[in-house]
Amino acid sequence: MRRSRAFIPTVKEAPSDATLASHVYLSRAGFISQVASGLYSYMPLAKIVIKKIENIINEEMARVGAQEVELSFVTPAELWAESGRIEKFGKELLRFKDRKENLFVLGPTHEEMMVDLVRNRITSYKNLPLNLYQIKTKFRDEARPRFGLMRGREFIMKDGYSFHASYEDLDREFDAMEAAYKRVLTRLGLDFRIVEADSGAIGGTGSKELMVLADSGEDTIAVCSKCEYGANVEAAKRSERASIPKAPKAEFNKFFTPNIKSIEELSEFFKVDSYYTIKSVAKRVIYEEGSEIVLFFIRGCDTLQKVKAINATDALDIADVSEEELVEAGLVPGFMGPLDQTKAKHVIDIDLKNAMDMICGANESDYHYTGVNLSVISEVAYFADLAEVNEGDVCPYCDGTLSFTKGIEVGHIFKLGTKYSEALKAEYLDENGKTTPFIMGTYGMGVSRLVAAIIEQHHDERGCIWTKESAPYMVNVMFSNIKDEAQVALAEELYAELQKNHVSVMIDDRKERFGFKMNDAELIGFPFTIIIGKELENGKVEILDRAKNEKISVERDDVFIKIMELIKR
C-alpha cells in the first residue's frame, strides 16, 4: 500500500475520554473512529488487523472440526422469552419492533439462535457431536461502555456452540476448544493465562476465561506461585489457612459492647484477631421479580465477593441498602449476627461452618455474643462460598500461595449442559430411542476486544507495537528526502521486492518531513521500518525494530535478506 493513497488519518490529540493506551493509540493512529458511546467505525488499518485475527481463528477452528455459519443479527424476541433470558439480560438487550409490531432483539450472544438452528434438524445421536461457530457483530447496551474497543456496545465476537450426546464428549470438546483458543492467542503473540471462571448459577468447574495479562485489565485474577492454578477472583478458591491465629477461649456470653460497630473496633475491644469475628454484610438482593434484604456473614478478616453472593442467592444483581432500610426491617445495624434468622434471609460463608470461639453481633443494640459455636446452626443455616480470596492465601491445589494480577478477558469457554436445550426443547433420539436434550458447550472470543488487548500488552510512550501475526503491515519503507532519486529508487525497489515475496508492506511515499513520517510510523506500530536516509551515500540503510526499539544499520544490498530474516525470527 502506498501511504500517499492510504486512508490513515493520524492525529496528535486523543479523544478526551480515552484513558487506556489502546483507546488513545488506536484513535490517534487512525484505526478507529468513535460514532457514539460504545460505537466505533473501523478504518482500513483496524479492518486488516481484525481480518488477521479472524483468519487465525478460522484456521484453528477448522483444525478442530468446527464449522462456520452466520446467524442473523436481528433475533426474534420469542426466542429470548423461551430461554427466559429476556429478563435476565435486562437492559443490555436492545429491543425494537418492526412495522408489523413484532418484537426483536439485537443479538448480544447467540445461544438461543444456534439451538433454534439445530433443533429439529439434528434428531439422532448418530449426527452428534456438532460444533458450529460464527464471527459476528454483537450488540449489548452496556451500562458503561468505555475504554474504546475494550467495552463497546457494538463489538465483534467469535461465538461457537457445541452439541453432544454425553458429558464425556462435551469434556473432550471443551478441552479441544481450550487448546484451540490457546493456539490462537499464542499465534497472536500474547502473554495470557487460562483461569477458572464464575460459572454463574450453573456451577461446576466447566467455565474458563482466557485472560490477556495487562495492568489495565478490568479483571483481577488470582494465580498460584507454584502450580498452574489461576482463577478469576469472582470464582477463586483457597485452602484452609496455613496458620490460624490463636483462638480466644471464652464461654458463650452476651457482652455489653457500647457503640462497637466495626470489625476493627470489635477485634480491638476484645483483643482478638478479626478471624474470630463475624462480619455481616447487608445487601438488597434483586431477583427477576422483586427484591429482598439478605444478610451475608463472613469472617471479619474477609470481604464479600459480589459474584459469589449473586450466585449464592440466584439473584440478578445485588445492591447496597441504607441503615434506614435495615432499621425498618427490624435489624440492628452494627450488631447483626447469624443466630437470629427471623428478620431477614441469611447466607453464611462456608468457611464459618462449624466455626468455634466466634464473636458476632447479638441482634441487639450495643451487644455482641462471644464464644459462639456455629455448629449449633449448621443444620438450619444456608452456607455458601462467599468470601473473596486474599493475596497470600493458600492455593486450593497445592501449598503455593495466591497473588493477584490483572487480566483482560478475551475469551470465555463454558460447559452449558442442557440449560438451553431443555428450555428450548432441543432434543434428539439417543441410542435407546429415548428423547434427550442436547448437552452443550459455548465458546466465545472477543475479536474486537483482542485488537485492544494486543495494544494494551504491546505499546510504549510513542504508540502501538503490533505483534507479527497481528500487524496491519509488517514492514514500512520510508525515505527521508523525496528529492533524492537514489533514496526513492531503493525504496520502490524494496517495496516491490517485499510485495513479490508476500510480505505485507507499506511505502511512505508522502512529501512530508522525515520526523513527521517517523512519528507516524512509531504511532502506527509497524514491526519493522526500513529507513533510507542520508547514509545511503555510504551504502547504508537502517532498520527500526519497533518491539526492541532498536535501529540496525545494514548494507544497502543486505537489507532485503536482513528484513526477511527478522520477519521469520
Residues that bind ligand ATP (CB under 6 A): 109, 140, 142, 151-152, 155, 157, 409-412, 444, 446, 448-449
**Smallest distance, ligand ATP to C-beta of residue 197, A:** 8
Question: In angstroms, what is the minimal distance from the CB of 194 to Mg ion?
Answer: 13
Binding site partner of 238, from ligand ATP, Mg ion, none, Cβ cut-off 5-8 A by kind: none
Rule CB under 5 A: say whether 151 interacts with Mg ion.
no
- Burial class of residue 481, CB neighbours in 10 A (0-12, 13-18, 19+): middle
**Alpha helices in 458-508, H assignment, sequence order:** 485-500
- Choose one: 242-250, 358-366, 411-419, 555-563; the region binding Mg ion (CB under 5 A): 411-419
Nearer to ligand ATP, 207 or 370 (CB): 207
Query: Residues 83, 418: contact at Cβ < 8 Å?
Result: no
In the bound complex, what is the minimum distance in angstroms from residue 16's beta carbon to ligand ATP? 21
Report what 129 binds from Mg ion, ligand ATP, none; CB cut-off 5-8 Å by kind: none
* Residue whose C-alpha is closest to residue 40's, from 107, 139, 170: 139
Residue whose CB is less far from ligand ATP, 30 or 444: 444
For Mg ion, the closer of residues 138 and 412 by Cβ is: 412
Residue 163 or 443 having the CB closest to ligand ATP: 443
Least distance (Å) between residue 281 CB and ligand ATP: 23
Cα-flanking dihedrals φ and ψ of residue 364, to 5°? -150, 135
Q: Which residue is nearest to Mg ion (CB)?
A: 412
Q: Which is nearer to ligand ATP, 210 or 389 (CB)?
A: 210
Q: Which is nearer to ligand ATP, 109 or 467 (CB)?
A: 109
**Amino acid, res. 25:** Y
Residues facing residue 468 across a β-bridge: none
Give buried/exposed letters for 273-284 (b at 16+ CB in 10 A, else e). Answer: bbbbbbbbbbbb
The nearest distance, CB 133 to ligand ATP, in angstroms, is 12
234 to 273, contacts with Mg ion by CB under 5 A? Answer: none
Q: C-alpha cell of 241?
A: 489457612
Which of ligand ATP, Mg ion, none binds 410 (CB below 5-8 Å, type-dependent)?
A: ligand ATP
First to last CA, the chain: 24
- Nearest distance, CB of residue 213 and ligand ATP, angstroms: 14
Looking up cell 440478578 gives 316
Q: Which is nearer to Mg ion, 237 or 412 (CB)?
A: 412
Q: How far apart are CA 98 and CA 450, in angstroms?
A: 34
Residue ranges with strand state E in 144-252: 154-164, 192-196, 207-213, 219-224, 230-232
Say which entry of ligand ATP, Mg ion, none residue 109 contacts (CB below 5 to 8 A, set by partner kind). ligand ATP
Do strands 219-224 and 95-97 pair parallel, antiparallel, or not at all (unpaired)? unpaired
* Residue 412 touches Mg ion, criterion: CB under 5 A: yes
Q: Please report how the helices 44-63 and 447-457 are oriented relative to each other, as an axis angle in degrees rounded to 10.
A: 110
Helical pair 559-568 and 485-500, crossing angle rounded to 10 deg: 40
Q: How far is the CB of 347 from Mg ion (least distance, A)?
A: 24
DSSP state of 537: G
Q: Are strands 345-349 and 383-384 parallel, antiparallel or unpaired?
A: parallel
Which residue, 200 or 400, has its beta carbon nearer to ligand ATP? 200
Which does residue 273 bind out of Mg ion, ligand ATP, none, counting CB within 5 to 8 angstroms by kind? none
Task: Give the whole-angstrom CA distance, residue 182 versus residue 188.
Answer: 10
How far is it, in rounded angstroms, from Cα 167 to Cα 213? 31
Q: Which of 157, 165 has the CB closer to ligand ATP?
A: 157
Q: Which does 446 bind (CB under 5 to 8 A by kind): Mg ion, ligand ATP, none?
A: ligand ATP
Answer with the entry of Mg ion, ligand ATP, none that 508 interacts with (C-beta below 5 to 8 A by kind).
none
Contact 79, 109 (CB under 8 A): no
Judged by the rule CB under 5 A, the positions of this chain that interact with Mg ion are 412
